[in-house]
Each structure stands twice: as structure tokens, then as C-alpha cells.
Structure 1
Amino acid sequence: MPAPSADPAPPAPLVVTLLLDDAAQDRFDRLRARHFPAERNHLAAHVTLFHALPGEHLDAVRADLAAAAARTAFDVAVTGVRFLGRGVAYVLESAEAARLRDGLASGWAPWLTPQDRQRHAPHVTVQNKVDPAVARALHERLAAEFVPETVRARGLGLWRYLGGPWAAVSEHPFR
């Protein structure tokens, strides 16, 4: 007689991102491809809004994202370059993005991990997990070249976290 099967593993966690316009996405992707360690670069450049929502709530999360996306696209300011210690990120600011995230966080409060309960500081990481001296040199170069700009948020992305890579689940474009 075969042994009883173990309980199935819970579904992989969900990640929610803010999607940027194509020109900004392309530029950040090129920077990430150039500066992120290739063996660790499993993802396109991204703006994470939530890092790990419970995978078993996929239907509810997808419905909430569809409702939240029923708004017009909005601007996001790229305001600086941040040194991360072992990497570099571009700093983003948007009151509209903050309101959007706060509204979702309020509805998902019971599901939020400690990381997702922290104050949100939107950014796009273009380098990570490198020697601090390498990161500092890139930060100094990018900061010296930096010119503030405005990019457009075009929607919300939903992903499954697969232990490194992510699998796309759905996109929810703004009107």
C-alpha cells in the first residue's frame, strides 16, 4: 500500500509591482543588465509595492488590483540615486503611488509581512549584492550624472515569487 502523500506545499508568495512606461522600463533594464551581477539577475528592473503576499489569496489580490487599476495613469518623479551599501537604486516619489499602496495595504493588513508593513520607499534597484566599494563607485558616477525626471506609472503587475525568479501572473493597466 502506498504511503499517504504529504500535504501539498502552499502556493508561492505573490509580489505586486508598479509598472512604468516603456521608455523608463527600457532604460532601467539596461542599467540593471549592465550593473547587476549576471548570476543573480533573474528579473527585469521593477518597483516593488509588496514583497510577499500569501499565494493562497491569489483571487482576492487579483480582484483588488483590478479595482485599484481603475484610475488614470500618473506621474512618478525620479528624484535621486541611493547607495544601498552593496548596491545602487534610483529613488522614486509619487503621492499618487503612495495613496494607491496605502489603500491596498489597508485591505491586506492581516496578510502583510513585517517587510511589507514598513514605511514604503519606492525605488528601482539597478545593482545589488556587490562589493561595497564597487557599489560606492557606481553610486558616485550615477549621482554625478543624475538629472531628475518624470516617468509614467502605467499599471500594476502581479507575480509569483519562485525563490529568485518571478513568474508573471497578471497585469492591471491604468486607464
Structure 2
Amino acid sequence: MTPTFSPLVLTLKLDRATFERFNHLRQQYFPPAKNTVPAHITLFHALPGEQEATIQCDLQQFCAIAPPLLLEFPKLRFLGRGVAVEVDCPKLVSLHQQFAQTWSNWLTQQDRQEYRSHLTIQNKAPEAEARLLYEQLTARWQPCHGSGDGLLLWHYEGGPWSLANEFLFAAPDTTSLS
């Protein structure tokens, strides 16, 4: 019998204060029955589980020399049936591009699309409800910032995810964090 492997999801590990802020918003506005994972910034939605050892090795090597990332959260984005916080971080886009090139043979159509980082605080809601929330939150939104402190690799199991491993960025940044 051939073993089955669950897909892997790769997300950015947020600093504690940023995670708590956005996870609170997600718990407040995401439809409760559909909110099975905490607040996150996804880099890849479905990496092949059968390549987990290689992926973990790549992540370990990268994170051992990578500095934390400065993240800017300038505005909200209307998703049609939800609301997301936009993430401005050119180094995060570069990180995504680097791994997309390394893992190009494994990527799904979704993971091959142009990377537009965001953090979803509401999804799968009726469009009118989402539009109202977007307008309410936009009226009082204050740009803020936080940091990405590492990468989290998850097993996707149909609903909640289970953590496969955490990879912290190890190197201090001696350049500007833009």
C-alpha cells in the first residue's frame, strides 16, 4: 500500500504582538464555523507532502542565514466575500520568488500565480456583509508594522492544520528592512 501524504502549507511566522492583533480581528470577523486556522500570511498553499524532508532541509538552510523581515500593513483589501490586510514587504516577495524557483516542479496553479501577500481577517462571508466590514474598518484603519520572525510549515488536513515544523530566522539584519 502506497502511503498518502497531506499537502503542506508554508506561512510566515509573525512576531507575537502582530499575530495577536490580527488573530483577534480574525476571530472577531471570520465566520466562526469556517475559522479553523489562526491568522497567517501564506507563502505556499499546497506543497507536496511526499517532499517534506527536502522542503524542511531547504527551509532550515534558508532560515539559518536570513534576518527577520519588517512588515508594513498599509491598508485593507476587499476580497469580494471577505477582507484582508495588505502586507508590504519586498523581501517577503523575494523570499517567495526564491522558493518558487527552487520548487517550481512541485507548484500548483494557485502557487504559481503572482504573489500578493496579505492576511485574511474575514472570508467566506456574504458579499454585502464583507463590503460593510471593509468600509467600517477602512474608515478607522491606521497603517502599522510588525515583523516576520521565521517560517511555519503545516500539514493541511482538510480543516485545521497541524504544525510540521517551525524555522526561526537566525541572522540579525544589518541593512534596512524594506
TM-score bracket, normalised by the shorter chain, equals over 0.9
Residue of structure 2 in register with 1:4 after alignment: none
Any conservation in 2 of the 1:21–1:153 contact (CA below 8 Å)? Answer: yes
* 1:105 aligned onto 2:100: yes
Aligned partner of residue 93 in structure 1, secondary structure: coil
Aligned partner of residue 142 in structure 1, secondary structure: helix
Residue of structure 1 in register with 2:26 after alignment: 32
Residue of structure 1 in register with 2:166 after alignment: 171
Aligned-residue RMSD, C-alpha = 0.9
Q: Take 1:94 and 1:10, find their aligned partners in 2: how far apart are those partners?
A: 36
Larger radius of gyration: 1
* 1:66 aligned onto 2:49: no
Q: Take 1:104 and 1:10, find their aligned partners in 2: how far apart are those partners?
A: 24
* 1:149 aligned onto 2:134: no
Paired residue type of 1:122: S
Any conservation in 2 of the 1:37–1:130 contact (CA below 8 Å)? Answer: yes
Residue of structure 1 in register with 2:4 after alignment: 10
Runs of 4+ in 1 over 3 A off after TM superposition: none
Question: What TM-score, normalized by structure 2, do the two folds share?
Answer: 0.92
Question: Which of 85, 92, 105 is residue 90 of structure 1 equivalent to?
Answer: 85
Q: Take 1:50 and 1:68, find their aligned partners in 2: how far apart are those partners?
A: 16
1:164 deviates by: 1.6
1:63 deviates by: 0.7
Paired residue type of 1:85: G
Gaps of 5+ in 1: 1-6
Q: Take 1:133 and 1:75, find their aligned partners in 2: how far apart are those partners?
A: 34
Q: Deviation per CA, 1:44-65: give whole Å up to 9, x if none.
A: 0000000000000000000111
Give the % identical residues.
41
The number of equivalent residue pairs is 169
Aligned partner of residue 150 in structure 1, secondary structure: strand
